[in-house]
Structure 1
Amino acid sequence: MSLSGKREKLRDPFEIARNRMVDNQIVARGIKDPRVIAAMRKVPRHLFVDEALWDQAYGDFPLPIGEGQTISQPYIVALMTEALQLQGDEKVLEIGTGSGYQTAILAELARKVYSIERVPSLVERARRVLAQLGYTNVVIRLGDGTKGWPEEAPFEAIIVTAGGPKIPEPLLNQLADGGRLVIPVGDEYSQDLVRVTRVGKRLVTENFGGVRFVKLIGDHGWRA
């Protein structure tokens, strides 16, 4: 290996672990979208968790990020992202910025990402990490995500990274014609991951199976 090649490897010591994660946890489980797969290979997941957890960052499980929140299991991130069917030109709304990892994946795949987080410390950390990684197509704000972001609507894609008792009505209202909304819906302990596609005035719902997320807190979700 050339000296420049060695330097490249040293700059990203987690590349092998990240590729193993994609091969074993994502591709092997049926994720097929090449753009999603490429984004998962690129984004350094370990930077979105505390340094003490870096050695676990590419494992097949969620991890705590503080404030009672988690960074989702890599497969679930890939599954939800693939379900959005992003082509690269979309304006995306993300409810629940959390660590910012899902935000970064979306930023690789869409034109613009608007993300809402209700925990101030998570907002600041996500902004810092995303800025360090050079993402300029992301806007994050503090607020109640269940109300959406009406002044920027409609959105071609909406993703909700917390489980709600029902789909918040404001999010449905902010979904563009032909747009997709992906959200976990159920009780406090388990949910079904559903995709809602707006076709004119109709809403077409598909079920992607059982998942478990933290609670979606807000006026149109669970009460704090």
Structure 2
Amino acid sequence: MKDYYDKKKRLLESLTAKNLLQDKRLYQAFMEVPLEEFIPRKYIDTVKLYKDIPNLFYYQDPQNYRTISAPHMITIMLQGLALKKDDDLLILGAKSGYISALAHKLAPKGEIIILEANSEIATITRENLEKLDLDKNVSVIVKNPLEGMPDLSPWQKILVTGAIRQNRIHPLLKQLDPNEGVLYAPIGEELVQTYTQILRVDGNFYGKRQLKVRFTPLMTRVELDNIQLAADVEESGKPIEIKHNPEKVDEALEDIKVKYASNIIDEIDMEEQPKTKELELKLREEAIQFLRELLDHARCFKTEDEISTCFDLIEYMDGEIESLKTFKKDLGLKVKKIKSIVNNIRSYNILRKDLDKSDNMEKKHEIINKQMNEINTLEELIHSEIERLQ
């Protein structure tokens, strides 16, 4: 594989000289994360790679293509988020996974979830992350990004990677952590947007307009025929939309007043208070106990045939996840990823209930197998978390 070390160094030195790249952690992240691994080989231009320009990674036709943002823009995005090491980050728009890989270097103890409407781009992104063994830290979900992930909120940081109208950010703002959560987005109409940084403190929102940019609109039309779960729902005879709910977005478009200031973001305290070894050991022991209880219920689920009992087990798991949330910040638990998997298990259980009186045994077995795969994934994740804490 070609070594791009010197080209990277020249690019980063240029960004530093222009006073754009100021975060030493981000400088190191750029050096460690290989951009070329996020671009299909047929689109790699070795001359232009690591130049300060966007990089094409997806192309269907002149109206349907996607690029990874230019390095200076990625720098502005990630520095604008003011990521702490244990922040949870929601990214709207996959950008091939490159931005999320860099963000993971800045927030290694946090969880990152990408919402991407295009299932093909989502698949490309997952494969890219798997190549670099980052799929355990970054999850990709096919969904209308405008909905956000309210069931997994609060989010310490939300990054919007495509143009979005002002009123469309309102449901996202509600999902921000009230304790200095930050949303960063190119807000505006089709031609020109303003990259805006919005900070939430309790019930107040403070904004800082930064620079004029030109982004393609955030892709929001979910291709339902390419979403496995959605296809399952349609075939069951009761079209329950699991991941695509535009009505929910419209209902949430309430007026949120944003106060614009110039330096509010600079007041975020990036320092953390150290914890004693005794306290951390106690927290680990308590968290492991809840994880083991969650694991027990997951195992029970695999041998349970009664759908109503399966719903009860899911409720128990929800309760254990709520308990685990209290340890998330201190121990870096992957609570959001666990919750997302349990939500998938619940969705399949709904499908099983709908199919309960059906004679379509093949479909029933297919749904059960998919649900068991989710249970297996959950067990693996729990085992991994327990092993890490021990």
Return the TM-score normalized by structure 1. Answer: 0.89
Letter in 2 for 1:92: L
- What's the counterpart of residue 201 of structure 1? 203
Secondary structure at the aligned position of 2:11 is classed as helix
- What's the counterpart of residue 192 of structure 1? 194
Check whether the contact 1:43–1:105 (CA below 8 A) recurs between aligned residues.
yes
The 1-side partners of 2:45 and 2:132 are apart by 17
Instruction: Tell me, yes or no, if structure 1 residue 59 matches structure 2 residue 51.
Output: yes
1:116 Cα shift?
0.6
Moved more, 140-149 or 40-49: 40-49
- What's the counterpart of residue 153 of structure 1? 153
- What's the counterpart of residue 175 of structure 2? 174
Letter in 1 for 2:160: V
1:12 Cα shift?
5.8
Check whether the contact 1:46–1:54 (CA below 8 A) recurs between aligned residues.
no
Secondary structure at the aligned position of 1:100 is classed as helix
Instruction: Tell me, yes or no, if structure 1 residue 105 matches structure 2 residue 125.
Output: no
Identity of aligned residues (%): 27
The 2-side partners of 1:188 and 1:59 are apart by 26
Instruction: Tell me, yes or no, if structure 1 residue 165 matches structure 2 residue 165.
Output: yes
- What's the counterpart of residue 8 of structure 1? none
- What's the counterpart of residue 87 of structure 1? 84
Check whether the contact 2:54–2:70 (CA below 8 A) recurs between aligned residues.
yes
Q: After superposition, what is the alpha-carbon deviation per residue over 1:57-106, rounded to whole angstroms, capped at 9, x for unaligned?
A: 21111122224211100110011100111120101000001211111111
Query: Which blocks of at least 5 consecutive residues in structure 2 are unaligned?
Result: 59-63, 221-245, 251-390
Letter in 2 for 1:57: L
The 2-side partners of 1:158 and 1:196 are apart by 10
Q: After superposition, what is the alpha-carbon deviation per residue over 1:93-132, rounded to whole angstroms, capped at 9, x for unaligned?
A: 0000121111111111112101111111111111111111
1:41 Cα shift?
1.6
The 1-side partners of 2:128 and 2:173 are apart by 30
Q: How many residues align?
A: 210
The 2-side partners of 1:192 and 1:164 are apart by 10
The 1-side partners of 2:129 and 2:5 are apart by 19
Question: Closer, same or farther in 2 for the Cα pair 1:85/1:12, shift >3 Å?
Answer: farther
Check whether the contact 2:118–2:219 (CA below 8 A) recurs between aligned residues.
no
| Root-mean-square deviation (Å) | 1.6
Secondary structure at the aligned position of 1:214 is classed as coil
- What's the counterpart of residue 381 of structure 2? none
Secondary structure at the aligned position of 2:44 is classed as helix
The 2-side partners of 1:61 and 1:103 are apart by 18
- What's the counterpart of residue 4 of structure 1? none
Return the TM-score normalized by structure 2. Answer: 0.52
Letter in 2 for 1:205: G
The 1-side partners of 2:54 and 2:67 are apart by 6
Check whether the contact 1:163–1:191 (CA below 8 A) recurs between aligned residues.
yes
Letter in 1 for 2:155: F
Letter in 1 for 2:174: N
Check whether the contact 2:69–2:95 (CA below 8 A) recurs between aligned residues.
no
Identify which of structures 1 and 2 has the higher relative contact order when contacts are C-alpha pairs closer than 8 Å and 6+ apart: 1
Check whether the contact 1:47–1:54 (CA below 8 A) recurs between aligned residues.
no
Higher strand share goes to which structure?
A: 1
Letter in 2 for 1:173: K
Between Structure 1 and Structure 2, whose CA radius of gyration is higher? Answer: 2
Runs of 4+ with deviation above 2 angstroms: 217-221
The 1-side partners of 2:8 and 2:129 are apart by 18
Instruction: Tell me, yes or no, if structure 1 residue 35 matches structure 2 residue 25.
Output: yes
Q: After superposition, what is the alpha-carbon deviation per residue over 1:137-196, rounded to whole angstroms, capped at 9, x for unaligned?
A: 111100100100112110000000001121422210100011100000111111110000
1:205 Cα shift?
0.3
- What's the counterpart of residue 287 of structure 2? none
The 2-side partners of 1:209 and 1:98 are apart by 21
The 2-side partners of 1:104 and 1:217 are apart by 21
1:54 Cα shift?
4.0
Instruction: Tell me, yes or no, if structure 1 residue 130 matches structure 2 residue 129.
Output: yes
Instruction: Tell me, yes or no, if structure 1 residue 14 matches structure 2 residue 16.
Output: no
- What's the counterpart of residue 210 of structure 1? 212
Letter in 1 for 2:67: T
Letter in 2 for 1:53: I
Letter in 2 for 1:139: S
Check whether the contact 2:150–2:175 (CA below 8 A) recurs between aligned residues.
yes
Higher helix share goes to which structure?
A: 2
Letter in 2 for 1:181: L
The 1-side partners of 2:3 and 2:164 are apart by 38
